[in-house]
């Protein structure tokens, strides 16, 4: 969703985050949409990556199901199709112009990479098709670490600003994505329900916690270079605490369910 043709995520990162994603998603929203859908289902997974959303959601939905796996990266599509029975669809989100016949549109960790205009268009496509939408793991910003340090707030603010940056002329929504999507669906008359879906990192996910921490600090320093001088010692302290089992972090996300008005 940045430069056409470039990958958004690497397979190793997606595999590393899949268990934490599964723990974080709001299972009650999946149960709500499952109760409203009548099979046979047609499900479209946008930005499907390696298929983690399908692996998590398919067992929670009534059958039979027919999945369409949308992504622009053919490597990821091949990984997804190997474990999620469905039809791979390679292409950009902007190429999606009609969702007729779709029961459910879903995605994971995608909305924050979009613009307000793209989210509004996606909501319009779902509502026009009478399709439900389950959009999970949109970042909400303000990561919290325990134990706290004085630099936490500056890094969190810089990271959130980085998530809202302009890329190739597109201003990304970042932490505003969940609220923007909810309003877009409400304006169109959909029934909207949201629920928190935070990552809870620490000793239970040591490798993911380290990778997240390194990326979080790097993005913050890219946004605010003045933070770089303190970032190295900060990272070393945090990694030492993680190795000792003493570091925990909560990374805010929100899940959104939009149902056709009854």
In a domain, 54, yes or no: yes
pLDDT of residue 262: 76
| Full strand arrangement of the beta sheet holding 191-196 | 86-90, 65-71, 41-46, 104-108, 132-139, 253-259, 191-196
In a domain, 1, yes or no: no
CA 250 vs CA 3, 32, 218: distances in Å: 30, 25, 18
Angle between helix axes 11-24 and 206-223 (nearest 10 degrees) is 110
pLDDT of 9 > 70? The answer is: no
pLDDT of residue 7: 39
Residues making up the chain, counted from first to last = 262
Tally of structural domains, the chain:
1
In a domain, 5, yes or no: no
The predicted-structure confidence for 109-160, as pLDDT tens digits, reads as follows: 999 999 999 999 999 999 999 999 999 999 999 999 999 999 999 999 999 9
The predicted-structure confidence for 34-71, as pLDDT tens digits, reads as follows: 999 999 999 999 999 999 999 999 999 999 999 999 99
The predicted-structure confidence for 193-242, as pLDDT tens digits, reads as follows: 999 999 999 999 999 999 999 999 999 999 999 999 999 999 999 999 99
In a domain, 2, yes or no: no
Q: Which domain holds residue 65?
A: 11-259
In a domain, 43, yes or no: yes
The predicted-structure confidence for 84-118, as pLDDT tens digits, reads as follows: 989 999 999 999 999 999 999 999 999 999 999 99
The whole-angstrom separation of Cα 132 and Cα 123 is: 10
Q: What is the CATH number of the domain that holds 151?
A: 3.40.50.150
184 with 120: CB under 8 angstroms? yes
Give the H/E segment covering residue 105: strand 104-108
Count Cα atoms within 13 angstroms, Cβ side, for 85: 7
In a domain, 3, yes or no: no
pLDDT of 6 > 80? The answer is: no
Confidence of residue 2 (pLDDT cuts 50, 70, 90): very low
Distance, C-alpha 88 to centroid of its chain: 20
pLDDT of 1 > 80? The answer is: no
In a domain, 93, yes or no: yes
Q: Which two tokens stand for residue 223?
A: 């946004």
When pLDDT is averaged across residues 19-39 and rounded to a whole number, the result is 97
In a domain, 6, yes or no: no
What average pLDDT does the chain have?
94
């Amino acid at each position: 969703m940045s430069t056409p043709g470039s990958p958004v995520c690497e397979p190793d990162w997606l595999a590393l985050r899949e268990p934490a994603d599964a723990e974080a998603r709001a299972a009650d929203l999946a149960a709500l949409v499952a109760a409203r859908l009548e099979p046979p289902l047609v499900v479209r997974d946008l930005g499907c990556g390696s298929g983690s959303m399908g692996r998590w959601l398919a067992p929670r939905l009534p059958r039979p199901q027919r999945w369409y796996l949308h992504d622009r990266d053919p490597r990821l599509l091949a990984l997804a199709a190997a474990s999620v029975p469905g039809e791979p669809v390679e292409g950009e989100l902007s190429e999606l112009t009609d969702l007729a016949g779709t029961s459910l549109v879903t995605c994971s960790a995608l909305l924050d990479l979009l613009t307000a205009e793209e989210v509004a268009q996606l909501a319009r496509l779902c509502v026009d098709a009478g399709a439900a939408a389950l959009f999970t793991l949109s970042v909400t910003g303000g990561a919290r670490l325990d134990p706290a340090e004085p630099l936490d707030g500056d890094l969190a603010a810089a990271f959130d600003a980085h998530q809202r940056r302009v890329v190739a002329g597109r201003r990304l929504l970042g932490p505003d994505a969940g609220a923007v999507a909810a309003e877009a669906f409400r304006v169109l008359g959909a029934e909207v329900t949201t629920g928190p879906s935070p990552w809870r990192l620490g000793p239970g996910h040591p490798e993911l916690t380290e990778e997240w921490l390194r990326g979080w600090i790097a993005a913050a320093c890219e946004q605010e270079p003045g933070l770089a001088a303190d970032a190295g010692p900060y990272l070393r302290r945090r990694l030492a605490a993680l190795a000792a089992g003493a570091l925990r972090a909560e990374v805010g996300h929100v899940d959104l369910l939009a149902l056709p008005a009854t």
